[in-house]
Structure 1
Amino acid sequence: MNKLIQWIEKAALAVCASAVLIMMVIGSIDIVMGNVLGFYISYKVELSGTLLATSIFLACSPVQRGNEHIRVDLFEHYMGDKTRKMTAFLGNLCGLLFVGLISYGLWNQAFKSVMIFEASADTSGFLIWPWKLACPIGTSLCVLTIGGQLIQQIFTSSSLKESK
């Protein structure tokens, strides 16, 4: 199961990297064309917004797994071991709740987008629904990761109590 999740995360990161590359290429072309020809790409803002959201959500699970998210540890060195474990557990519990709610909302939005084959409202007509479908996939992976971390924390803390 762990290998499957890692493979899915690698695929998600590949899509994420592709989205960032597309944003960079379109942005660069827009700047060059705007300064040289005086012509700007009409769909750059909508495309960039869609791809940025996709990139953030698809990278969520590996960041959570590696504990690489932004963290304020102002008082952490003053805390005891039990307090640190409890705050980590509560943080993961809150993360599971909030990311789960975000995932739920994104799945609803993605289903609606797929049903109408949503495309860009500007003149380009690029498809938005595949990117909107990628967002809840990323958050669902993150929910699974946080859930696994919570289960691991519960069993690790209970096995420590039993060994004492």
Structure 2
Amino acid sequence: MNKLIHWTEKAALAVCAGAVFMMMIVGAIDIVMGNVLGFYLSYKVELSGTLLASSIFLACSPVQRGNEHIRVDLFESSMGDKTKKATTFLGTLCGLLFIGLITYGLWHQAINSVMIFEVSADTSGFPIWPWKLACPIGASLCVLTMIGQLTQQIFTSSPLKEST
């Protein structure tokens, strides 16, 4: 099961990297065309926003698994082991609640988008629905990761570390 999760996360990160690369290429083309020809791409804002949202959610699970989120550990050095474990558990539980609610909403939005094969509102008409589908997939992977972390925190006494 662990290999399946890692393979799925690597596939999600590959799609994420492709989306970031596409954003970079479209941005570079827009800047060059704007400065050289005075013509800007009409779809750059909508495409970049769609790809950015997908990238964030697709990268969420590996970031959660590696405990690499931005965090403020101002008081952590003065906490005891039990307090650290409790705050880690509560943080993961709250994260699961919020990401779970976001995931629910993303699935609802993605299903509606797929049903109408949604395209961009600008003149390019590029398909948005695949990228709207990528968001709940990435968020669902993060939810599964958090469930695994909570299970590990409940049934083990050691602090949560990434296992490779």
Corresponding residue number in structure 2 for 1:32: 32
| Mapped partners of 1:137, 1:39: distance in 2 | 36
Q: Is 1:3 the counterpart of 2:15 in the alignment?
A: no
| Mapped partners of 1:129, 1:118: distance in 2 | 5
Which residue type is aligned with residue 59 of structure 2?
A
Corresponding residue number in structure 2 for 1:21: 21
Corresponding residue number in structure 2 for 1:147: 147
Q: What residue ranges of structure 2 are gaps of 5+ in the alignment?
A: 159-164
Relative to total residues, which structure has the larger helix share, 1 or 2?
Answer: 1
| Mapped partners of 1:68, 1:53: distance in 2 | 19
| Mapped partners of 1:58, 1:110: distance in 2 | 14
Corresponding residue number in structure 2 for 1:91: 91
| Mapped partners of 1:122, 1:93: distance in 2 | 40
SS of 1:157 mapped into structure 2 = coil
SS of 1:3 mapped into structure 2 = helix
Tell me the CA shift for residue 143 of structure 1: 0.2
Tell me the CA shift for residue 72 of structure 1: 0.6
Corresponding residue number in structure 2 for 1:48: 48
TM (norm. structure 1) is 0.95
TM (norm. structure 2) is 0.95
SS of 1:123 mapped into structure 2 = coil
Larger Rg: 1
> Deviation digits for residues 56-96 of structure 1, max 9, x if unmatched?
00000000000011011010001000000000000000011
Q: What residue ranges of structure 1 are gaps of 5+ in the alignment?
A: 159-164
Corresponding residue number in structure 2 for 1:58: 58
Tell me the CA shift for residue 157 of structure 1: 3.3
Aligned CA-pair RMSD = 0.9
Corresponding residue number in structure 2 for 1:127: 127
| Mapped partners of 1:98, 1:157: distance in 2 | 25
| Mapped partners of 1:2, 1:130: distance in 2 | 27
> Deviation digits for residues 87-145 of structure 1, max 9, x if unmatched?
00000000110000000000000000000000001110000000000000000000000
Which residue type is aligned with residue 156 of structure 2?
T
| Structure 1 stretches of 4+ moved >6 Å | none
Tell me the CA shift for residue 45 of structure 1: 0.1
